[in-house]
Amino acid sequence: MSSHPGDLLSAWLDGELEAIQAMAVATHLEACAACAAEREEVEAGRAALRGLPSLQPPPGVLWPSPAVHVGDVLSARLDGEVEEELRPGIDAHLAACPACAAEHDEVAWARAAVRGLPPLEPPGGVLRPMRTRPAPPPRAPSSLRPRQLLAAAAAVAAAGAGMLGLVGRSAPADTTRPSVASFVSQHSTSSPGPDAVSGLAPAALPVSFSR
């Protein structure tokens, strides 16, 4: 490396250079006393910065900035909804900004006034119709829908009509009445005299075939 590394010293110390560049810077530092001294100064400065204790900024320095007012968070601050790490900055801004302090006092007064108002009852007759309206009568529970009821009624009617048709077909048109006189006459002709054993004449029995 013919030229001095210059800005490459910090990257070389952080190990951000490629292998070829890092080797070239290391070779140059071994041959150049000025660049070696500069490297030592950079290393000393970096070590001093890393050894400093962490510092917390004063309240109100970083947030909110003096140019930004805190009007949008006043209500949240009064409700205690602001994060703890942000509250010191808001309080510092209120102490340094008369406009935000006045707005804070106005918001606090308005909130207290609203909360101190007595509860209001609605005018008469506004909610009374809703309260006194009678409840509708309970409807009888029905497990069947209208269409299902109609289908069931049609099925019952069809079954009744079928039973009437069967009864009409099985009933006889008229009652059969046999001729009793003809049966008696035939019986008398077939038995001309008394029985040979008992000597009794056959008796005529009443016969009826009516149903």
Per-residue pLDDT tens digits for 43-73: 888 888 888 887 776 655 555 555 567 777 8
Q: In degrees to the nearest 10, what's the CA dihedral of 151, 155, 161, 162?
A: 150
> Mean pLDDT, to the nearest integer, of 126-134?
60
43 & 13 share domain: yes
Q: DSSP 3-state assignment of 26? A: helix
pLDDT at 87: 84
Q: Beta-carbon neighbour count of residue 111 at 10 Å?
A: 14
pLDDT at 197: 47
In a domain? residue 91? yes
- List, for residues 64-114, the tens digit of each pLDDT value: 555 567 777 888 888 888 888 888 888 888 888 888 888 889 888 888 888
pLDDT at 45: 87
How many separate domains does the chain show?
2
pTM value is 0.29
Is residue 160 very low, low, confident or very high in pLDDT (cuts 50, 70, 90)?
low
pLDDT at 13: 84
In a domain? residue 96? yes
In a domain? residue 14? yes
76 & 45 share domain: no
pLDDT at 17: 84
In a domain? residue 201? no
In a domain? residue 107? yes
In a domain? residue 38? yes
Please name which of 110, 114, 92, 113 lies closest in space to residue 101, comparing C-alpha atoms.
92
17 & 46 share domain: yes
Q: Which domain holds residue 16?
A: 8-51
Q: Could you tell me which residues come within 8 angstroms of residue 202 by beta carbon, excluding any fewer than 6 positions away?
A: 187, 191, 195
45 & 75 share domain: no
